[in-house]
Structure 1
Amino acid sequence: MMLSQDWRRFTESLPNNVYASVVNSLFDNLNTLIAGMVSASIAAFITAWKTSSRPLLICAILLTVIGICRSIDMIGYRLRGDVSTKRAAKRWEVHYAIGAGAYSAALGFWWLISFLTTSDSFVQLLCAAITIGYACGTSGRNYGVPNVVTLQIVCTCVPLAFAMLARGDVYYIILACFILPFFFALKKIASSLNQTLLKAVISAEDVTLLAGRLDAALNNMPQGLCMVGGDSRIVVANGQFAQILGLDPQVPRVGARITEVLVECIRSGLFSASAAGRIVSDFKANMEQRTSGRMHAETQAGRTFAVTFQPTGNGGSVLLLEDITERRSAEAKIKHLASYDALTGLPNRTFFRSQMDRALSLMRRSTDQSALLFVDLDEFKQINDTMGHPTGDALLCAVADRLQRIVRETDVIGRFGGDEFVVLQSPVGAPEEAAALAKRVVETLSEPYEIEGHQLIVGASIGIAMTGQHEVDADHLLRNADMALYRAKAEGRGTWCFFEPEMDVTARARRTLESDLRKALADESFQIFFQPLVNIRTGRVSTCEALLRWTHPERGMVSPAEFVPVAEEMGIINELGVWVLRKACQECAAWPTDVRVAVNLSSMQFRRGNMTGTVREALWAAGLPAERLEVEITESVLLQDTEATRVTLTQLHDLGVRISLDDFGTGYSSLSYLHSFPLQKVKIDRSFLQGIQNGGRSLTLLRGVARMSDELGMSVAIEGVETQEQLDLVAAEPSITEVQGFLFSPAVSSSRIRELLQSDMTAATKVA
């Protein structure tokens, strides 16, 4: 038979385990079912015997056969019934519904036959009693599936009502009318029992699920948990509690006293008697005061446990046990890392600063002084870059070891990062003591180092600041020592220098210059001047070199030699260079198409920026062909990272940009670069012009360099041409194509260079 759509939708919404419990309730009352079916079969045979009616005999046999089949089906369910899936549960539900429907129909048919074929009151009464009793039993036995109850009541009560109506007797008709409310009453009872069953099953499942989750949570939490009652006996203990303590899982059993667990811990050697006594004391205090608490317990094996007490509402307490040994070890390491340099083991800036405060505080109570030595290694960067960072790190550790050997126990050494070390010399009676220590440091650190099979040599420059008679704080002392170090490096390195008040004035001026530079960059207060390069053969301007100029609002024109190095140290030279490149390209776009613009690129721009991308963007923004841009680089660019620089220059060359080597002859190995890099022009430094008017070696050297460059396929330009005599000598050399200098024009503004380019420059002197 087919179940109703409503019941199907309802069963689909039930969880598998709940639906399985519902189906299981149908097959749960085998004994009562068999008893009812046996009673009905006996009654049916009695009615057949008393009336000698063949139809009633057939009904009795049919009831017996169906009853036997139902009994076999129910026994089969108990033996091999599988309701692990909804599909299997539905199959057994259908089995039961078919059997119940068939039996109810046979019972109703027996009742109908007895009323239609006989007038025996005993037979009719017996049939009615059995049928009504079966209907009542159905609602109490099959309430788990309301559809089955409805089916059985309809199959039994409808034939009963029909038979009574068929008799035509008024009393039978009255009885038939009572069948309908009886039907609804049984159905209502079955529905109520069904809801009760479902609620009970779902509640039981929820309790089981909650218990399972709680058990899983307790036994999978990283801490050990033990709940004790008001009598200090264990109520609950998870597996981690015994595992952390290293005890047998049966020791912290339910009902045992917590003191028994501690006794076992002492017996196993986990805790000493004193440690266990302290735990008991703290536990009792928390139990009596009903307060939460936390304590640390040290084991005899060196482990650390954290024990947390939390009172409960019933006078008991919850104990949380956690092994925090590794956490404490990690905290100690973190604390050490926060105070000491990870590489050298010396105090870092933060910890050294606190030690300085303490030392200076003690010095204020005496007449002694303190000296701060700011030590910076000379040429360390070159070693780090050429030999690699592992070698550089090993060298720093060796330097730290030497410093520790030459200072006193009262002195403090720190590392501020990189190759910067600081020494707080305290106490110091006179500046001569600080100078003597500085001398020892310079001499000791300058001795050769054996690092990984290499002999390395570095120097040291030191700035010294004294506390003096005036109170100074740590920051002030560090700042003074830093300024003194700056002076020592400026004086040639490998030496030491004491702080002097005028250094502060110089430092303030530099800080002001740095601030003004940042503001000028933000406001674009810089200007670009252009100095032309003249083609000797045509007498016309072929290229204009872009030169950065800065007119300070108070100081007037500031020399690039003053502010460009500061911009490089500040790290803004890259932004400044990009700005110059863009402005120069925009200006060149307004010039005659046969004139190029030359822009100087610093080594820092090559290290920090995507030079190829920057140039491409500047050309695109200005709408300038790449062939009209010439980038000038110095030998310092080629010395940084040869392979990376070669790749960048090759990319620029492929883009169409001309590449010029500026200030040729002022470096150390320029000749080796002329054939290694994609250079197209060489600008010979003005120093080569000195004395050429006298002939001799100066003129020979100039001509030799020019011819060599020309034979390598590069055009040659001469810088610093200031006299007609120099021009005549240079022009006599056919390998030289361009000249630049005050003889033609100094660096001029963009408006002035446009006027020069518009004029008909038929001779070099006419340009001037």
Structure 2
Amino acid sequence: MDAEALFRQQCTTAINEDGSANAERLMALVVETYRLQAGKKRAAEDRSRLLVKENGELKGNLVASKEDLAEQKRLFGNVLDNLPQGLSVFDSQQRLMVCNIRFRQLFGFSSEEASPSASLGSLIAKIRGNERGEKKVSRLRDAASEGGHIRHREWVMEDGRTIQSVITVLPDGSNISIHADITEDRKAAERIAYLAHHDPLTGLPNRIRLRESIDAALAGRKPDEHIALVHLNLDRFKSINNTLGVSAGDKILRQVAERIRMSAGAGNVLARLGSDEFAVLQSGRQQPWNVTALVDQIRRELSEPFFRGDKAVELSVSMGIAISPQDGTETDVLLKHAGVALSHAKSSGGNGERFFTAEMEAEIEARHALEADLRKAVEREEFELHYQPLYDLGQQRICGFEALVRWNHPTRGRVPPLEFIPLAEEVGLVVDIGRWVLRRACRDAVHWPKDIKVAVNVSAIQFTNSDLPADVAAALAEARLAACRLEIEITESVLMENLDEALPILHVLKQSGIRIAMDDFGTGYSSLSYLRRFPFDKIKIDKSFVNGIVEDREAFAIMRAIILLGDALGMRVTVEGVETAEQLALLQREACDEIQGYHISPPRPVVDVPDLLSQPPEHTSTRAS
């Protein structure tokens, strides 16, 4: 029985005992009152339970909040003290609020010195170093007055370290700073800046720094002053690298730089412009006498031998000189004119100096015009080949032809090879011209008798700036010419300048069946050593040895020695420049293999080749030019 039924039963019993006539109404009223009281009691109990529950949760939240704050504080401390950079926070009164361990380490502060409330001024006073380019006190005064921006400060410590501070100043005058050791970064930046303006091999200023020095000298030039620029280039230095090695060449270059430095003195600017190029900038009132004395001193210093171990190396130097204001008042102009003068010094044979003249500039302009025309000629194939016979003295007949390129300019007419071939080599067009010559010579030769060969000259640049074996193979395949009918002629300069690159290429060509000849034999420095390095099929004696062989016994003796040398090495010998019957007769008696020259025939167009081949041997051998 529930509480309400029990209460109803008790009420009924009481009413019956009273004997009241209105028992039903009384009982209903009593029951309703009970219900109300019971409901209030349950509500009160529910509210009580809710309050107890909420109070427990509140206490739990308070405990959790305290634990979270403690954990965040611990985490913040760990992060702060493990930052790779130093951190400090100062209030608006410039008193330390918080810092980390790295901040104290960077500046050498103890925990007591960098404790909260320490003043910025007291900390700066304890720094064992100086602020770069700034006074510490002036910066301190500005700290509170300047707000809402970022400042940079840099400290050079007594131990050589460089500390950089990046300070964020807040509008109320307080600040937050990040501090970092930038010593290695600064050294690297300084090294990069140094290398950007200096030559790493010699330590001399480079071309960029020289331009800056010329700019400054021209800007500060007084009316009665002259500024001289000397452009120097070592003659044939590349051969030293090839014969002695790059390491030995670098050592010699450092010695060269030191000798020029001693000659130039402290008052002049010396720079290295390239591998074997230097420049000296000289200012003064007495020009050209001062610069003349300078170049004489440089020449004397460099004329003394350089030694690599017990081996002496001798150098010569070419120099071009331009003087401001008469040769130019702008840096680019002065540099250009000194370079023009140097080009003329080298084209004159080197080992000399030239002052710039207006005529030189006119020649350079003409040269640039010729270069532009030459580029068009390559595109339009304005070339043709002439062929000079190679005459076999034993068989008394023509055995081949040397292909010689000719340029038929549309307005200039015939341009001499000595005028455009060196230009083509200098500007890189000789590769395209050489490739064209190979193709044309093979196409022409395929129509000749099969025992007639064709010889083609190859430039040193074709060994370094092209795939020569591929070009030769393509020319032979296109013309369907047998490889044994092609003869490649190289000068000794090919080996002197590119020995390591040239020898493998020559072996590839020879293995394919092509004959290899050394042209202009005897005009270089190490002909015999090269004959040992590579098994040439032929050596061609330069015509300079032929001129006096009839009258000059010494010239004849040299000629005979070379012919005997070729025979001993199993190499055919061709003598160039044979122009008289007397020379021909003498060479026949010495059992020379081949001759070439105007006595047989000058170079002729390809259409004349059949006529030359059809002539009787006795007529050909006695033909005069």
TM superposition score category, shorter chain reference: 0.7 to 0.9
Question: Contact 1:540–1:763 at 8 Å: present in 2 too?
Answer: yes
- Alignment of 1:749 onto 2:605: yes
Q: Within 5 A, what are the aligned runs for 1:303-382?
A: 303-310=161-168, 317-363=175-221, 365-378=222-235, 380-382=237-239
Equivalent of residue 290 in structure 1, options 145, 148, 161: 148
Secondary structure of the corresponding residue to residue 359 of structure 2? helix
Cross-structure match for 2:619:
765
Change (3 A) 1:629 1:494: closer
**Residue 659 of structure 1, CA deviation:** 1.6
Deviations 1:325-368 (A, max 9, x none): 333333333333333333333332222222222222333x4323
Deviations along 1:692-740, one digit per CA (max 9) or x if unpaired, are 778988778767754653454334444445566766666677x555444
Cα offsets for 1:67-91 (capped at 9, x unmatched): xxxxxxxxxxxxxxxxxxxxxxxxx
Contact 1:598/1:632 (<8 A) preserved: yes
The counterpart of 2:359, out of the listed 502, 520, 534, is: 502
**Deviation (angstroms), 1:656:** 1.0
Given candidates 499, 518, 523, the residue that maps to 2:375 is 518
Letter in 2 for 1:557: R
- Aligned residue for 2:275? 418
Identity of matched residues, %: 37
More helix by share: 1
Decide whether aligned partners of structure 1 residues 283 and 555 sit closer, same or farther in structure 2, where only a CA change above 3 A counts.
Answer: same
Residues 231 and 343 of structure 1, relative CA distance in 2, 3 Å threshold: same
- Structure-2 separation of matches of 1:738 and 1:278: 92
Counting only pairs closer than 5 Å after superposition, residues 318-717 of structure 1 correspond to structure 2 as 318-363=176-221, 365-378=222-235, 380-407=237-264, 410-449=267-306, 455-468=312-325, 472-535=329-392, 541-640=398-497, 645-667=502-524, 670=527, 674=531, 676-686=533-543, 690=547, 705-706=562-563, 709-710=566-567, 712-717=569-574
**How far off is 1:220 after superposition?**
6.5
Q: Which has the larger radius of gyration?
A: 1
Matches within 5 A, 1:56-95: none
Contact kept in structure 1, 2:143 and 2:169, CA below 8 Å: no
- Give the 3 Å change call, closer, same or farther, for CA 423–385 of structure 1 in structure 2: same
Equivalent residue, structure 2, for 1:49: none
Matches for 1:23-62 after TM superposition, within 5 Å: none
Q: Are the equivalent residues in 2 in contact too, given 1:369–1:466 (CA < 8 A)?
A: yes
Q: Is the 8 A contact 2:199 2:272 kept in 1?
A: yes
Using a 3 Å threshold, how does the CA distance of structure 1 residues 672 and 227 change in structure 2: closer, same or farther? closer
AA of the residue aligned to 2:333: H
- Aligned residues of 1:349 and 1:415 also touching (Cα < 8 A): yes
- The 1:209–1:619 alpha-carbon spacing in structure 2 relative to 1, beyond 3 Å, is farther
The CA deviation at 1:279 is 5.5
**Alpha-carbon distance in 1 for matches of 2:169, 2:567:** 94
Deviations 1:15-46 (A, max 9, x none): xxxxxxxxxxxxxxxxxxxxxxxxxxxxxxxx
- State the distance in 2 between where 1:384 and 1:598 align: 31
Is the 1:227–1:235 Cα contact (8 Å) retained in structure 2?
A: yes
How far off is 1:509 after superposition? 2.3
Matches for 1:242-253 after TM superposition, within 5 Å: 242-247=104-109
Answer yes or no: is the 8 Å Cα contact 2:145–2:173 preserved in 1: no
- Quote how far apart the aligned CAs of 1:556 are: 1.2
- Cα deviation per residue 1:235-291 (whole Å; 9 max; x = unaligned)? 8755544443344679868xx34x45774564574679x9765564444234xx222
2: CA distance between counterparts of 1:344 and 1:716?
Answer: 46
Which stretches in structure 1 are left out of the alignment for 5+ residues? 1-119, 123-203
Unaligned runs of at least 5 residues, structure 2: 4-64
Match of 1:92 in 2: none
Q: Specify the code of the residue in structure 2 equivalent to 1:245.
A: F
**Paired residue type of 2:420:** F
**Maintained 8 Å contact 1:296/1:304:** yes
* Preserved CA contact (<8 Å) 2:327 2:334: no
Return closer, same or farther for 1:453/1:539 CA change in 2, 3 Å cut-off: closer
Structure 1 residue 658: deviation in Å?
A: 1.4
Q: Post-superposition shift, 1:631?
A: 1.0
1:227 Cα deviation (Å)? 5.4
Alpha-carbon distance between aligned partners in 2 of 1:358 and 1:696, rounded to the nearest angstrom:
62
The structure-2 alpha-carbon separation of the partners of 1:525 and 1:264, relative to structure 1 and needing over 3 Å to count, comes to: same
Contact 2:94 2:120 in 1 (8 A): no
Query: 1:504, CA displacement in angstroms?
Result: 1.9
For residues 593 and 696 of structure 1, what CA distance do their matches in structure 2 show? 40
Give the structure 1 partner of residue 36 of structure 2.
Answer: none
* CA deviation after TM superposition for structure 1 residue 301, in Å: 4.0
Shifted more, 446-455 versus 436-445: the winner is 446-455
Q: Equivalents in 1 of 2:78, 2:513: separation in Å?
A: 72
Higher relative contact order (CA 8 A, sep 6+): 2
CA contact (8 A) 2:543 2:577 kept: yes
Deviation (angstroms), 1:671 = 5.3
Counterpart Cα distance in 2 of 1:387 and 1:481: 31
How much has 1:212 moved relative to structure 2?
11
> For each residue in 1:407-436, what CA deviation from the matched residue of structure 2 results, as whole angstroms up to 9, or x when unmatched?
465433333233333223222234233323
> Is this contact kept in 2: 1:279–1:297, CA < 8 A?
no
1:654: Cα distance to partner?
Answer: 1.4
| Deviation (angstroms), 1:561 | 1.7
Q: Which amino acid aligns with 1:485?
A: L
Q: Deviation of residue 657 (structure 1)?
A: 0.9
Distance 2:144 2:596 in 1: 96
Q: Secondary structure at the match of 1:633?
A: strand
Question: Residues of 2 paired with 1:271 and 1:431: CA distance?
Answer: 49
Question: Which of 62, 74, 85 in structure 2 is aligned with 1:223?
Answer: 85
C-alpha distance 262-450 of structure 1, shift in aligned 2 (>3 A): farther
Q: Structure 1 pair 532/372, CA: closer, same or farther in 2 (3 Å)?
A: same
Instruction: Identify which range, 433-442 or 233-242, moves more after superposition.
Output: 233-242
Over the residues paired in the alignment, what is the CA RMSD in angstroms? 4.5
The alignment partner of 1:624 has SS state of coil
Distance 1:208 1:738, change over 3 A: farther
- Kept in 2, the 8 Å contact 1:371–1:428? The answer is no
The CA deviation at 1:553 is 2.5
The whole-number CA distance in structure 2 between the counterparts of 1:695 and 1:445 is 37
Task: Tell whether the 8 Å contact from 1:718 to 1:738 is kept in structure 2 after alignment.
Answer: yes
C-alpha deviations, 1:442-483, integer Å up to 9, x for none?
223333456666655434433332225686222222323233
- Tell me, in whole angstroms, the C-alpha distance in 2 between the residues paired with 1:728 and 1:296: 89
Residue deviations 1:126-147, cap 9 Å, x none?
Answer: xxxxxxxxxxxxxxxxxxxxxx
Give me the TM-score of the superposition, normalised by structure 1.
0.61
The answer on whether the counterparts of 2:517 and 2:538 sit within 8 Å (CA) in structure 1 is yes
